[in-house]
Amino acid sequence: MIPAEVLAFGTVTGTNLTSTPIHPFMKTHLGLLALVSGIAAVLSSATLAAAPAELTASGATTAPAEARLMRFPATDGSQIVFSYADQLYTVGRDGGVARRLTDGPGYAVFPHFSPDGKQLAFTAQYDGNTEVYVMPAGGGTPKRLTYTATAARDDLGDRMGPNNIVVAWKHRSPEIVFRSRMRSFNDFIGSLYAVGPEGDLPRQVPVPRGGFASFSPDDSKMAYNRIFREFRTWKDYKGGLADDIWIFDFKTGALEDITNNPASDIMPMWGPDQRIYFISDRDGRMNLFSYDLATKATVQHTHFKDFDIKFPSLGGSAIVFEQAGYVWRFDLTDGTTRRVPIVVSEDFATARGGLINVGKFVATVHLAPNGKRVVVNARGATYTVPAKEGPTRALSRGSGAHERTSSLVGPKSLGG
């Protein structure tokens, strides 16, 4: 804990040293950043991640911990593939220990099984850009299918979401449908494109714009969202971007709104039981609903009250989705919902503790009133560094917070 009379933390990230007046005592120390970057082998603030199984004092092992923060699950009815720590993993429909499928740079997200369950299409960044890839469902060398320009807004953390998101496979023709902004001048607008597993030239699905989509068993119709807003965190939103589920008939060109609700109705999935499943927040949280194509009745299937259902996907006779960081499975046959217990047994190299040269991650530097020391924020922690001679002092204790724009206040100056 850093005394309040010594340090004050701001909310502005970054300080331009060249535009800040230099204290007289520091005129001979213009190599400040070089001095700070010499702070090598400082213990990082990262903590050691919990291992899948821990050895007790008696030599016995404890049960492995269930994984969390799993995203974008997909299923073929027997297997589940999901993204965890930006990579794809596979596990049986009932859970267990997951096996990693990808290990590339960047992230691998939005997996979708082919209709026969033999191939897996997904969005990844092997070559830098976010593009569409395909690989054997059980693992293998991925093949790049698309080549597009880099989008200005292309990140999982952005409210527009990443570019070139795989949304579905067609049933009768071996085509992968993805949502892209490759030809859009507006980040709010994306279109649907189809590409074959051999990587031919993508062609636009004949609708002007689109988000997530799903196809009828004979591919003659498509249920889709016209607006893409799944990455936005708005709650109970009922404005112009609150989307509906639309059915487009490729033969007649007819377009039908099957939900027509003020709430957000998104992520349509055309089921084998003549129902279109989707999620909606019409009851306050995103829950699973379905629309009966024969009776035109809408039924609610889940009733989560704590966290939204996110990114559901249908395959075989099941729908898998993420909720509260876990993967859940909804069975179309009996209407039951079960959480799938999944264990990820990895070395978690990015989460383990280690020695980090924080001098490469300096964010802000502020001078002490007496000019003898400076306070430095680097990699989320706070240090004081002598202007000339003396030890470097780590003032942060623990990694529970990210500290930034620290400055010295009050009459004290941390000594020499």
Which of 296, 314, 344 is the last residue in one of the domains?
Answer: 344
Helix (H) or strand (E) holding 33: helix 32-36
Domain that holds residue 389: 7-48+352-408
In CATH, what number is assigned to the domain containing residue 164? 2.120.10.60
Q: What is the pLDDT of residues 58-113, one digit of tens each?
A: 555 566 789 999 999 999 999 999 999 999 999 999 999 999 999 999 999 999 99
Domain identity same for 275 and 359: no
Which residues on neighbouring strands pair with residue 276, listed in sequence order? 270, 291
Task: For residues 389-403, give the mean pLDDT.
Answer: 83
Rounded to 5 degrees, φ, ψ at 134 are -140, 145
Dihedral angle over CA of 125, 139, 103, 88, nearest 10:
70
Residue 395: pLDDT band (50, 70, 90) is confident
Domain identity same for 188 and 271: yes
Q: What is the pLDDT of residues 263-278, one digit of tens each?
A: 999 999 999 999 999 9
**Cβ of 182: how many Cβ atoms within 10 Å?**
17
Rounded to 5 degrees, φ, ψ at 165 are -80, 125
Domain identity same for 315 and 374: no
For residue 60, is it within any domain? no
Please compute, for residue 344, the number of CA atoms within 13 A of its CA located in the half-sphere on the CB side: 22
The residue assigned the tokens 């893409």 is 228
What is the C-alpha separation between 2 and 216, in angstroms, rounded?
61
* Distances, alpha carbon 375 to alpha carbons 11, 16, 313, 372, 393, in Å: 16, 15, 50, 10, 9
SS3 145: coil
Residue type, 13: T
Task: For residues 245-255, give the mean pLDDT.
Answer: 97
For residue 80, is it within any domain? yes
Domain count for the chain: 2
For residue 55, is it within any domain? no
Helix (H) or strand (E) holding 345: none
Domain identity same for 176 and 37: no
Task: For residues 353-366, give the mean pLDDT.
Answer: 85
pLDDT value, residue 231? 84
Domain identity same for 117 and 101: yes
Residue type, 390: G
Domain identity same for 108 and 256: yes
What is the C-alpha separation between 376 and 147, in angstroms, rounded?
43
For residue 286, is it within any domain? yes
In the structure encoding, which two tokens stand for residue 108, read together?
């691998």
For residue 260, is it within any domain? yes
Rounded to 5 degrees, φ, ψ at 360 are -85, -5
Which of 344, 362, 397 is the last residue in one of the domains?
Answer: 344
Residue type, 229: R
For residue 1, is it within any domain? no
In the structure encoding, which two tokens stand for residue 197, read together?
């597993």
Which of 303, 328, 344 is the last residue in one of the domains?
Answer: 344
Domain identity same for 231 and 323: yes
